[in-house]
Structure 1
């Protein structure tokens, strides 16, 4: 158990792109959260972000942020291909880490980060914010309590309307591009939350000329007899909804199922709508969970355990093997072009 970190918790953000900005905005909704510092590959980017979002200090390198004695935990918000290097710098600097999803590009590199954090007694969690969402937590509790009987199927899809130019990070194998790591992780995480690890994995994808998956379908089979039919796409805006079906009912999540505020429970002829609205985008809930864990001296969260991260990373590896996607991460530790900034 790591030493507990009492409130207030001093946050650093590594990265200055869109997801970093959204997290910074929602962090202001978290009681006891201090916007302490920002780190980027240039002092200019860090200074601009810090001024815009109200952070006290700005650092022009990852190492300088990791060395900041006034920071307790760092949220890593770089592109996928730089998660491992960025998180490793933070861990080496003695900082707790909330690392954007997916943790890394593959299971072995994620396992390395887990071991590095454990060896130093530091907290590490993959930022799968969907699992911390109060609606998703309520759904998981209802399913566990048998509200829809035995689960027989999970259906979920997530797609964006393309096309994306070849220079976009989503089309770049060196940045972990493709639908799977950006979008597919949400349907996969929902299925894993409800059904656990599958016994059978069947995947198919249409690849872009750059070699990333543009349109991907998954059929997962489970020892219980349940199935999960999942898809992700960079070429079409799908319904972006999800359904969990059981022997006595079903739960429907609305579009943008990965950040829901409501859901509908169908049982027999009865329909019940649950409305759990909240301010912000929903990133505050993962920050609150990090702070709860730090206050309790816990090195991982039961909402997103490290073992779950490793299971899902292994599943993603198996899917990529079937669809023929090979990432080509850059040799250097930090991004070297503006289009990699997230």
Structure 2
């Protein structure tokens, strides 16, 4: 097994790609060697900012680079399936930004291809790899609050109303559910598994994307998740887990928490400060690189079957809300 850094390329040069590249300064087992954008100017500017040797003006050129072992996809939602397929067919491991795809059908196509080619693939649900979520899973495994009976999770924000903003563009896979609602849905999945019943309501706004969603998930054994996400109001995104023996409160923001409160019923509240290095984006990358060096084709923390069931849940929510993307019609 090689101990050399995994050579990584980034598709896309937007905000999330920049944040990911900044995070990689804390990842000793990764070497960022290439970036691709739809324009040479954007690729050059990104490369200069992050000290990247190779800059490509097409995504296909980066995928064809024989030096690259892992590709981080930071392209628009609507491109995730096709860009993942392109990289997997070129034999590259893929770390795909959430949402993993537009729908479960696309997700299954990508997952099936990765398994057929025996190539690493993972949804970039970075939150799961942060110290706070490592601690949260440790608490749940140890049963400190007993059986989880209820999850309350959600958040709301009011974005820029510029019609060119990506969340307001259905042709790019915009809308609040796939971009932000995936976080509480993923939390419920991590804690309780796939739901047995899904109830949802919401609104599709003037830009023809969902701008508010309320979700009720029923799970085996009677546990329930009550989730929400909105672009029509403002509320700090947080998580509460209620168990048979106690409760856990994960402080906002739920996508990058650094503090957890634990209260076993009848006892004093315990506070856990769980800071992360840098901006936190490197933890998922380190895990992906280590998996590649180990010869693994998926992550045990964010397994592919769970990614697929999360996309199926999101599909069901969108169906009940009435949110259909142009490319699905």
| TM-score bucket of the superposed structures, by smaller chain | over 0.9
Is the Cα contact below 8 Å between 2:131 and 2:275 reproduced in 1? no
> Deviation at 1:79?
1.0
What TM-score do you get using the length of structure 1 for normalisation?
A: 0.93
Tell me the residue number matched to 2:191.
Answer: 194
> Deviation at 1:143?
1.2
Gap regions ≥5 residues in structure 2 = none
Matched, 1:156 2:153: yes
Residue correspondence of structure 1 range 287-302 to structure 2 within 5 A? 287-302=285-300
Matching residue within 123, 127, 144 for 1:126? 123
After superposition, the Cα gap between the structure-2 partners of 1:192 and 1:24, relative to the gap in structure 1 and judged at 3 Å, is same
Q: Number of aligned pairs?
A: 328
- The CA RMSD over aligned residues, in Å, is 1.5
What TM-score do you get using the length of structure 2 for normalisation?
A: 0.96
Matched, 1:64 2:72: no
Distance 2:143 2:65 in 1: 48
Matching residue within 316, 322, 325 for 1:324? 322
After superposition, the Cα gap between the structure-2 partners of 1:177 and 1:31, relative to the gap in structure 1 and judged at 3 Å, is same
Tell me the residue number matched to 1:11.
Answer: 8
Gap regions ≥5 residues in structure 1 = 332-342
Deviates most, 293-302 or 217-226: 217-226
Distance 1:278 1:219 in 2: 31
Matching residue within 279, 282, 294 for 2:280? 282
> Deviation at 1:5?
5.7
Residue correspondence of structure 1 range 109-188 to structure 2 within 5 A? 109-162=106-159, 164-188=161-185
Distance 2:42 2:327 in 1: 23
After superposition, the Cα gap between the structure-2 partners of 1:41 and 1:163, relative to the gap in structure 1 and judged at 3 Å, is closer
Distance 1:31 1:162 in 2: 35
Runs of 4 or more above 3 Å deviation: none
Matched, 1:88 2:85: yes
Tell me the residue number matched to 1:305.
Answer: 303
